[in-house]
Structure 1
Amino acid sequence: MRHVRALLLALSLLALVVSCGSYVLLGELRATPSTTVEPVEFVVAPGETANDIASRLSAAGLIRQPMLFRILVRWRGLDQQIQAGRYVLSPTMTMSEILMVLQSGKVVDDIQITIPEGLRLEEIATIIAAAGLVSEAEFLEVARDGDRFRDDYFLLNSLPSGATLEGYLFPDTYRFAPSADAETIVRKLLDRFVEQYSTIERSVRVPGVTVHQIVTMASIIQREAVLLSEMPKISAVFWNRLKPQFAPTFGGGLLGADATVQYALGYDPVEGTWWQRELTVEELAIQSPYNTRVTPGLPPGPIAAPGLAALTAAAQPDESSPYLFFVASCERDGSHKFATTIEEFRIYEAEWLACQ
């Protein structure tokens, strides 16, 4: 009889423990980590496990007990039911509610934008604003503050104090959450620049140049070249013009790139473009540190966003090229004719003018 009473007592205690445990478990399932309603974007990667998802949900402040989340997923047999994608969750949601959303596949639609090579900051701002992300003014306020990012990006070490991020926002196709702010957008473009520049930083053939000088030269090449195959040769022309031994032949250290004059002139309301096609004699002589027809050396900074081909050409010019001049070809395929002397240049120039 005594054994029976002990057994009944043990069963009662076990039932009490189970009941309390169930109550606590139910309480945790119904609990929310916070009362804040601030939405949190959460991305589930393809093939990501429930364990990884639980850990990241906890780190994001969306659940309190990652182990309980894992148990809930397995108990409900949902290991394979969570859909990859970008979601908007809230710390006010329960675990069950979060699981329902992650199963639904109702992801947030990203906004895709494409930034072509050779655009200046204002043109990039227009693309971003047209996509419905942030306004042109918001984007430009951040993108023109290079000092804001210097400590986080070592490739900005040679960026002059007070300079903008002109040339450093890499042209590519991107996807952004609709809620992305200007700094998030700028950092993503900067991250891509760092990623791409890292592929060439160990193979720079131009002695004694900084990253800023390479990016500046690349931006000019991007605006002047049409064919990717000609970029290393056009790069050689511009670097040759800056060498002291060629100063007597070409303008005493002048780069002489019309694209830099276009940049200095800015927006033309008549043509409705930032890049005037026809430049007058007066415009070619304007006083500006960006006018490389009157100011020796490289301009103070980039004039546009160069792509990887232009960056590579700036860092690795065609070392076998002795040229100092190039003129558009009458083939009209974007190609150029290259010359080493002013006499040869004038012949090619006359040919070009004759075929207009």
Structure 2
Amino acid sequence: MWRHIASNAVTFLIVALFLLGGAILWGQGQYRGEGPLAQAICLKVDRGSTMSRVSDDLAKQGAISSPSVFRIGADYEDKTNQLKAGSFLVPENASMEEIVSIVTRGGASSCGTEIVYRIGVTRATVQVRQLDPSTNRFVEKASFNPEEEEAPAEYTRVRGESDTRYRVALAEGVTSWQVVEELKSVDLLIGDVSEVPPEGMLAPDSYEITANDTRAQLIQRMMDAQQRRIAEVWAQRRDDIPLKSPEEMLTLASIIEKETGVAEERRQVASVFTNRLNQGMKLQTDPTVIYGVTRGEGVLGRGLRRSELRRETPWNTYVIDGLPPTPIANPGLASLRAAVDPDETPYIFFVADGTGGHAFAVTLAEHNANVARWRQIEAERANN
């Protein structure tokens, strides 16, 4: 009888081990296999939340098939106590293993709401936007000019949320003075900037910031980024360009930046200035004259006067030969590249063509005809 009992016990143990092994394999497959999420979601994890609460939330949103397997897997990987607060983008069909990694690895939130402080050439704006997980695109929720408008309720609401992210976005072509002035109104930042950085030495880009970052630290990040770009682009320059130093490249790039907002034109515009420098012609570009009037402190807001075109300043390229002594704005990476790799064209003239771009010309007669067409367009617009 005891032999029979022992035999049954062994059989039972074998079956139990087999079932346990099968359960483990099934659990591993569930944990590591493709998840059921049909469309990406933004998962918000509040401060003080638990893995149990997160697993229930994921199950309700159809991101995981089993909250218990999710929790067991997180515990097995020793990540249960590593849960981070924030808003995290969970891609479609993400496995439980991938989701556990997403919510425990730390770093900035990858979705949710952003407040972007935009510093533009003519105005500054504050934009509240939210990532749509289904398209991976941001949707604007509110926008206002802090100098002219009161902050909307949406801004005030998300400004106090723990998972809101913040950015300062610097447009190509802004001046260093504009950047310093506009950073004063970014209330997330602290501290003062002791002096305006050298013109051209701030890299236009988007910079993530956090509460109590200092303005001086952010300025230094912008300067470091621009210095890296300058070194990288100068190292890739063509041998035949009429530029003797990285400083001259930066100055020419700033002029290109101010002359065209059309990306496809940058190298053509660069070719005009390169041809003029090679031929010993004056650059004769209005943005340099404007800089001589404003010194980069604000927008001129009107057309240039004849007296200003004739006035001798270090930046008036209708009067001086060659490049001005400093950049006239902060150029972006594309304009830096255009300065050292211009198109090969015979052009030495260009003028606005009414579409936002320019009409290029080789001879003065062609240029005068282009100017006449532009003036006609201006007159027609003025009458409408």
Could you tell me how far 1:109 is from its partner in structure 2? 5.8
Matched ranges for 1:1-356 at <5 A = 80-83=81-84, 111-133=166-188, 138-139=192-193, 141-144=194-197, 164=198, 166-205=199-238, 206-243=241-278, 246-247=279-280, 253-266=281-294, 273-318=298-343, 320-329=344-353, 332-356=354-378
Q: Distance in 2 between matches of 1:182 and 1:312?
A: 29
Q: TM-score, normalised by structure 1?
A: 0.58
Post-superposition offset of 1:179: 1.7
Instruction: State the distance in 1 between where 2:182 and 2:163 align.
Output: 21
Q: CA deviation at 1:258?
A: 0.4
TM-score, scaled relative to structure 2: 0.54
Distance 1:204 1:138 in 2: 37
Supply the distance in 2 between the matched residues of 1:345 and 1:123 (Cα, whole angstroms): 34
User: 1:147-167, CA deviations, whole angstroms, 9 ceiling, x for partnerless residues?
Assistant: xxxxxxxxxxxxxxxxx2x11
Q: Supply the AA of the counterpart residue of 2:272.
A: V
Shift of 1:120: 0.6
Tell me the distance in 1 between the aligned counterparts of 2:242 and 2:312: 29
Query: What SS does the aligned partner of 1:242 have?
Result: helix
Unaligned stretches of 5+ residues in structure 1? 1-73, 86-101, 145-163, 248-252
The alpha carbon displacement at 1:323 in A equals: 0.9
Which whole-Å CA distance do the structure 1 matches of 2:359 and 2:351 have between them? 5
Tell me the CA shift for residue 121 of structure 1.
Answer: 1.2
After superposition, the Cα gap between the structure-2 partners of 1:345 and 1:179, relative to the gap in structure 1 and judged at 3 Å, is same
Q: What SS does the aligned partner of 1:125 have?
A: helix
Structure having the higher strand fraction is 2
Residues 170, 275 of structure 1: alpha-carbon distance in 2 compared, 3 angstrom cutoff:
farther
* Residue identity opposite 2:175 in structure 1: R
- The answer (yes or no) to whether the contact 1:142–1:182 under 8 Å persists in 2 is no
Rounded Cα–Cα distance in structure 2 between residues aligned with 1:335 and 1:280:
23
Query: What secondary structure does 1:293 align onto?
Result: coil
SS at match of 2:226: helix
Secondary structure (helix, strand or coil) at the match of 1:355 reads helix
Once the two structures are superposed, residues 140-191 of structure 1 have per-residue CA deviations (whole angstroms, 9 ceiling, x without a partner) of x3433xxxxxxxxxxxxxxxxxxx2x11100111112232223311211022
- The aligned amino acid for 1:352 is W
- Find runs of 4+ consecutive structure 1 residues off by over 3 angstroms: 77-80, 105-111, 194-199
Cα distance change, pair 113–303 in 1 and its aligned pair in 2 (3 A): same
- In 2 relative to 1, CA 275–228 (structure 1 residues): closer, same or farther, beyond 3 Å? farther
The one-letter code sitting in structure 1 at the alignment partner of 2:183 is I
Structure 2: unaligned runs, 5 residues or longer: 1-74, 87-105, 110-160, 379-384
Q: Contact 1:220–1:302 (CA<8 Å) still a contact in 2?
A: yes
CA-atom RMSD in angstroms = 3.1
Deviation of residue 284 (structure 1)? 1.1
1:256 and 1:180, CA in 2 relative to 1: closer, same or farther beyond 3 A?
A: same
Shift of 1:194: 3.3
Structure 1 letter corresponding to 2:334:
A
Tell me: CA distance 1:177–1:276, structure 2 relative to 1, closer, same or farther (3 Å).
same
- SS of alignment partner, residue 320 of structure 2: coil
Aligned length: 231
Q: Is contact 1:263–1:274 with CA below 8 Å preserved after alignment?
A: no
CA contact (8 A) 2:262 2:356 kept: yes
**2:359 alignment partner, SS class:** strand
Partner of 1:156: none
Tell me, yes or no, if the aligned pair for 1:114 and 1:172 is still in contact at 8 Å: yes
Give the Cα–Cα distance (whole angstroms) in 2 for the partners of residues 81 and 300 of structure 1: 55
Q: Which residue of 2 aligns with 1:3?
A: none
Change (3 A) 1:207 1:223: closer
Q: Provide closer, same or farther for how the CA distance between residues 268 and 113 of structure 1 changes in structure 2, counting only shifts above 3 A.
A: closer
Identity of aligned residues (%): 31
Distance 1:113 1:220, change over 3 A: same
Counterpart Cα distance in 1 of 2:205 and 2:347: 31
Contact 2:242 2:277 in 1 (8 A): no
Contact 2:177 2:196 in 1 (8 A): no
CA contact (8 A) 2:173 2:258 kept: yes
Q: Confirm or deny: 8 A CA contact 1:119 1:305 kept in the other structure.
A: yes
